[in-house]
Amino acid sequence: LIPRQTGGVGSQFPVYHSFVYQVGQRVKDLSFPNTTASSIKVTWIPSAQPHGHIQFYHIQANTTEASKQVKLTALTTETTFCDLEPNTKYKISVMTENQQVDGRGGGVGEAVTKEETTLPLSNLLSFFVSSLSNSSK
């Protein structure tokens, strides 16, 4: 608490202002600019008001059947999940972790989650066949 003297009628006592250090805030614009049969690139924009120093981003991908889970930690606002199953829907979540300030606050904020499906293998095979036929001409 920080005392602040104010002037005027009825302000003979100091007014106290408190600052609450909050956990990380939600990221914005979660998107998937490049998806293949085995990978998903994930990008996002940090909160305009992160309430402290962003220490890490925690990103996880779960299959919608919850049979596979992959977790990553990133320092930047993008990452790529690799070695994924083709033609599989994933729930991808990004959470912000803030550093403690003056022994207060800090922690992991609320997740932002969207779904993305990896491409089927048939698209990958078609791409290779097309590439081979074009390169032999």
Please determine, for residue 131, whether its predicted confidence score (pLDDT) is greater than 70: no
Q: Say if 78 falls within a structural domain.
A: yes
Angstrom distance (rounded) from CA 35 to CA 115: 12
**CB-count exposure of residue 92 (10 Å: 0-12, 13-18, 19+):** buried
Q: Say if 84 falls within a structural domain.
A: yes
Query: What would the pLDDT profile of 73-82 be if each residue is shown by its tens digit?
Result: 999 999 999 9
Q: Say if 1 falls within a structural domain.
A: no
Please determine, for residue 120, whether its predicted confidence score (pLDDT) is greater than 60: yes
Q: Say if 135 falls within a structural domain.
A: no
**pLDDT for res 133:** 57
Q: Give this prediction's pTM.
A: 0.69
**pLDDT for res 18:** 46
Amino acid in the structure at residue 96: T
Amino acid in the structure at residue 39: S
**pLDDT for res 47:** 82
Pairwise pLDDT comparison (26 vs 115), residue with the higher score? 115
Average pLDDT value for the chain: 79
Angstrom distance (rounded) from CA 6 to CA 97: 36
Q: Say if 133 falls within a structural domain.
A: no
* Whether 23 contacts 106, CB under 8 Å: yes
Pairwise pLDDT comparison (50 vs 74), residue with the higher score? 74
Q: Which domain holds residue 81?
A: 23-118
Q: Say if 67 falls within a structural domain.
A: yes
Q: Say if 136 falls within a structural domain.
A: no
| Count of structural domains within the chain | 1
Domain containing residue 109: CATH number: 2.60.40.10
Q: Say if 98 falls within a structural domain.
A: yes
Region 18-26: mean pLDDT is 60
Region 82-87: mean pLDDT is 94
Query: What would the pLDDT profile of 88-111 be if each residue is shown by its tens digit?
Result: 999 999 999 888 777 666 788 889
